[in-house]
Amino acid sequence: MAEKHKPAPMVDEVSDFEILEVAVRELAIEKGLFSADDHRRWTEYMHTLGPAPAAHLVAKAWLDPEFKKLAVEDGVKASLEVGIDWINSMPTNFGTPSDYCNLRVLEDTPKLKHVVVCTLCSCYPRPILGQSPEWYRTPNYRRRLVRWPRQVLAEFGLQVPEDVEIRVEDSNQKSRFVVLPVRPEGTEGWTEDQLAAIATRDCLIGVAVPKPGVTANVERPVHPAVNPVQDDH
């Protein structure tokens, strides 16, 4: 019995990036830049994050023109209404202003579609939208979206008509974005909670548009390359 059920190894591969993270973290703790307890509190905070605040920000903007105006003009201030304080909420209190990011809310119109990427790495509005999906961090998405946005969105199942402009916003350390999509037809009279349920993560990144009845993201597993680039060093 035991022979048939050998336990799987706990870790079968540690990436170079993970080794680098541990090395930099231990050095920073040793140098007194932050403590191990700061790191634990930060990690716990990161695991509490999810897309609900951004979904509610969009739902509120759909319901209230004054709030929409505030969201577009001052995303950081509007975030307070959904419980996200970009300036004071960070649990460590040691890194500001480096912890601080400026949130901008990108308003779609019937003739303009926004979509968000980080071409340099994987910047993402995590305090209001949680952890990024794996595909968002792939070189494939990052390098191709800026060149061929219409084609990449089509691969996500989003056919954008030719007469609609697509605007790609490139995130960076300080500027993070969420998309405010056009409120779909068939949602007249809906409550904030009903509207927030269709403002899914993918809609907030801009690779999908909200539809009544669609409250989940399409799973997009990331597969290893069939013909990986040979690494000779």
35 is an active site residue: no
Check binding of 121 to Fe ion (CB under 5 A): yes
122 is an active site residue: yes
Q: Which is nearer to Fe ion, 134 or 165 (CB)?
A: 134
Binding letters toward Fe ion, positions 80-119, x by CB under 5 A: --------------------------------------x-
Answer yes or no: are the C-beta atoms of 177 and 125 closer than 8 Å.
yes
118 is an active site residue: yes
The two structure tokens encoding residue 171: 């995130």
Nearest to 170, CA basis, from 136, 202, 134:
136
Give, in order, the Cα–Cα distances in Å from 165 to each of 47, 141, 146. Answer: 36, 19, 13
Closest distance of CB 139 from Fe ion, Å: 12
Size of the chain, expressed as the number of residues it contains? 233
Closest distance of CB 116 from Fe ion, Å: 11
In the set 35, 89, 98, 121, the catalytic residue is 121
Check binding of 123 to Fe ion (CB under 5 A): yes
Check binding of 152 to Fe ion (CB under 5 A): no
Check binding of 129 to Fe ion (CB under 5 A): no
Q: Which is nearer to Fe ion, 59 or 128 (CB)?
A: 128
Answer yes or no: are the C-beta atoms of 200 and 210 closer than 8 Å.
yes
In the set 79, 101, 123, 203, the catalytic residue is 123
Closest distance of CB 230 from Fe ion, Å: 27
Q: Which is nearer to Fe ion, 59 or 118 (CB)?
A: 118
171 is an active site residue: no
Strand partners, 168: 115
Q: Which is nearer to Fe ion, 27 or 120 (CB)?
A: 120
Neighbouring CB atoms inside 10 A of 36's CB total 10
Q: Which is nearer to Fe ion, 122 or 217 (CB)?
A: 122
85: Cβ–Cβ under 8 A, 6 or more apart, which residues?
Answer: 79
The two structure tokens encoding residue 25: 């973290």
Q: Which helix (H) or strand (E) holds 48?
A: none
Nearest to 76, CA basis, from 151, 128, 144:
128
Which residues contribute to the site for Fe ion (CB under 5 A)? Answer: 118, 120-123
Catalytic residues: 118, 121-123
